[in-house]
């Protein structure tokens, strides 16, 4: 790791931003033509830790941010909590759909 790499690895944002992407999932389209969501695994610049990142462009956006493509990165614990929350949302959705079909009979 060069001089700049050592400096950036000490900064959390630099460590994340300049790390290596070791895997990217396929992008999943949202409700509009331009929206998507994609998971990726990032090896931080320090080479010792990893983050799970979510790359996304929302269905709609407003504000001075500029580009609608954004990133959010999670440590493994937070990613597992998010997974569990997503699994719960899917279960609730499916339960609601079953209830809706049962009520319509």
- The answer to whether 42 and 16 have CB atoms below 8 angstroms apart is yes
pLDDT surpasses 80 at 3: no
* Model pLDDT for residues 45-100, shown as the tens digit of each residue: 877 788 888 888 887 776 666 566 777 777 888 889 889 988 987 888 788 767 76
State whether residue 40 is helix, strand or coil.
Answer: strand
| Region of poorest pLDDT, from 20-29, 33-42, 59-68, 88-97 | 59-68
pLDDT surpasses 70 at 8: no
Q: Which residue has the tokens 């992407």?
A: 21
| pLDDT at residue number 7 | 46
Query: 74 burial class (0-12, 13-18, 19+ CB within 10 angstroms)?
Result: middle
Please state, as a whole number, how many other Cβ atoms lie within 10 Å of the Cβ of residue 35. 17
Longest dimension (CA), the chain: 69
| pLDDT at residue number 66 | 57
């Amino acid at each position: 790791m060069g001089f700049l790499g050592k400096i950036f690895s000490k900064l959390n944002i630099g460590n994340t931003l300049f790390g290596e992407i070791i895997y990217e999932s396929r992008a999943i389209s949202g409700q509009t033509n331009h929206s998507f969501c994609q998971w990726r695994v990032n090896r931080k610049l320090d080479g010792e830790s990893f983050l799970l990142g979510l790359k996304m462009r929302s269905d709609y956006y407003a504000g001075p941010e500029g580009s609608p493509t954004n990133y959010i990165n999670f440590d493994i614990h937070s990613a597992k909590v998010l997974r569990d929350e997503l699994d719960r949302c899917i279960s609730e959705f499916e339960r609601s759909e079953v209830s809706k079909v049962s009520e319509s009979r």
